Amino acid sequence: MHERSLPCLPIDDAQRFVLHNEIHTRPSATFKLPALIVYVAVLNAGVSVSDECQHLRQLAGQDSLDIDQMKGNFLQLQSDQFKIIWERHTEFTRYTIVQALPVHAHWGSTLPDLATHVATGMAWLKGIPGKTITAIHLAMLNEGMDDPDAIYKSKLWLGEGTVIGAKMGRTADANSHSHLITNLRIGADGFERILVMAAPGTSENRAGRIAQRLLELETYRMMSLLSLPVAKQLASKLATTEAQLVEITARLETNTVSDEVLLSDLASLAAQVESTTAEHSYRFSAARAYDAIVKERISEMRERPLSGIQTVGEFMQRRLAPAMATVNATSERLAALAQRVSRASALLRTRVEIAAEAQNQQLLEKLTRGQALQLRLQSTVEGLSIAAITYYVVSLCLYLGKALKAAGLNINPEMLAGFSTPLVLLVCWRMIQHIHRSLKEL
């Protein structure tokens, strides 16, 4: 969004309206009771928004649906028979179809075949792109709260299985605004069934909020449990990796193999742990986030017990909490293993560095001794050099004396060479000293 100037305010930040309107995105549906909500959540890995748009266009009257209408990852479509809500999330997409409750599904009826009464058609439901993670038939009635046989009648509608439920929320007179009953079992048609009995005066907005809360609760419960099979599969792999680390640490302690071999083994083990962490860290982080949403939705229900059955919160605590404890324990175990491998690597590197420093010290000592010997040899060579230079210079003086004698001068060449020898030695020695001083000043 471009910045714009307002009469009484500085220029808007580019994200102001986007961030402000975020609170108004994905509003809950509004509908009259009684109603039937057919809800399907699918994993959308490999499914594009374009694919989902193409499928939504197959609905009656939606031929002109444009993908630009789906940019916000939320869309409500209304027809004469139903309302459908499309919501795309990071890992899953939700389709919520709200329609009038079929006549045969009235309060106290036996288990109806709801599959043949989906307003969008079973073929359309089956063609939703993605893999089903949650499918629910949520029936919402505006009767039954005061029926003493409510639990028995709900079993006729829900089918076999132990039911759970609760009184939800409190109104101004401290009464619940609705009752929830379900068995959280997947039926032969692939759908779970949830029954909500609301007060006769329940508003359309409240009905929408109740439905949204329950559907999100079950969806995020399933999404949080996606990490449980991963955690179970990792258990044996982590046990093997931990055993390898113990064995490497033992060899590090006893110093039975070379540091190069240990370092290679530790590097290989660290690569395995890092690869496992990179592969599964998102799944575990997502599980914690989904579990937090589940707990939040349960808290928002403000449950009170119905006589003789567990509340949803109690049921989730007993069933979901151990699963999430396993996931969290595996995540922490993986993180702890990575830290242990890192510490073992640090210890080995320290030992290698100490050994390298000791070798460097020995090398320096050898170099120092070599330099001292080289200095002695250099002094010896310098003495020999002075003698050699003196010899050659004196020889030149001898030849010079012979030449002068041959030229007629009264000169004794041997005497000239003998007397010049001390002088030549002194000059050569002074020259060598001068060279030494010049080198030190460099």
- Which of 199, 338, 340 has its CA nearest to residue 279? 338
Q: Which DSSP category does 427 fall into?
A: H
Q: How far apart are CA 116 and CA 38, in angstroms?
A: 12
Q: Which DSSP category does 13 fall into?
A: P
Statement: residue 252 has pLDDT above 90: no
pLDDT at site 112: 65
Q: How confident is the model at residue 184 (pLDDT cuts 50, 70, 90)?
A: confident
Other CB atoms within 10 Å distance of the CB of residue 324: 23
The single-letter code of the amino acid at 336 is A
- What is the residue whose two structure tokens read 């009771």? 33
pLDDT at site 13: 78
- What is the residue whose two structure tokens read 């742990």? 273
**Least confident interval from 44-58, 76-90, 141-155, 196-210:** 141-155
Two structure tokens written together for 277:
């962490």
- Pairwise pLDDT comparison (143 vs 118), residue with the higher score: 143
Torsion, Cα 321 327 328 331, to 10 degrees, reads 180
Q: How far apart are CA 181 and CA 303, in angstroms?
A: 12
Q: How far apart are CA 257 and CA 251, in angstroms?
A: 7
- What is the residue whose two structure tokens read 């409190």? 170
Average pLDDT on 41-50 reads 93
Pair 38, 97: CB distance under 8 Å: yes
Torsion, Cα 348 353 359 361, to 10 degrees, reads -150
Q: How far apart are CA 26 and CA 85, in angstroms?
A: 9
How far the first Cα of the chain sits from its last, in Å, is 68
Q: How far apart are CA 116 and CA 125, in angstroms?
A: 11
pLDDT at site 433: 78
Statement: residue 1 has pLDDT above 60: no
Two structure tokens written together for 346:
């640090």
Q: How far apart are CA 406 and CA 393, in angstroms?
A: 20
pLDDT at site 169: 83
User: What is the residue extent of each domain of the chain?
Assistant: 28-223, 227-362, 378-441
Domain at 227-362: CATH code: 1.20.58
Largest CA distance in the chain: 157
The angle subtended at Cα 87 by Cα 81 and Cα 93, nearest 5°, is 110
pTM of the model: 0.75
Statement: residue 434 has pLDDT above 50: yes
- Pairwise pLDDT comparison (27 vs 333), residue with the higher score: 333
Rg, C-alpha atoms of the chain: 45
Q: Which of 281-295, 348-362, 418-432 shows the highest mean pLDDT?
A: 281-295
- Across the beta sheet with 74-78, what order do the strands follow? 74-78, 82-88, 92-100, 35-43, 131-141, 192-198, 178-182, 164-168, 303-305
Other CB atoms within 10 Å distance of the CB of residue 144: 20
Q: How far apart are CA 329 and CA 235, in angstroms?
A: 10
The single-letter code of the amino acid at 98 is V
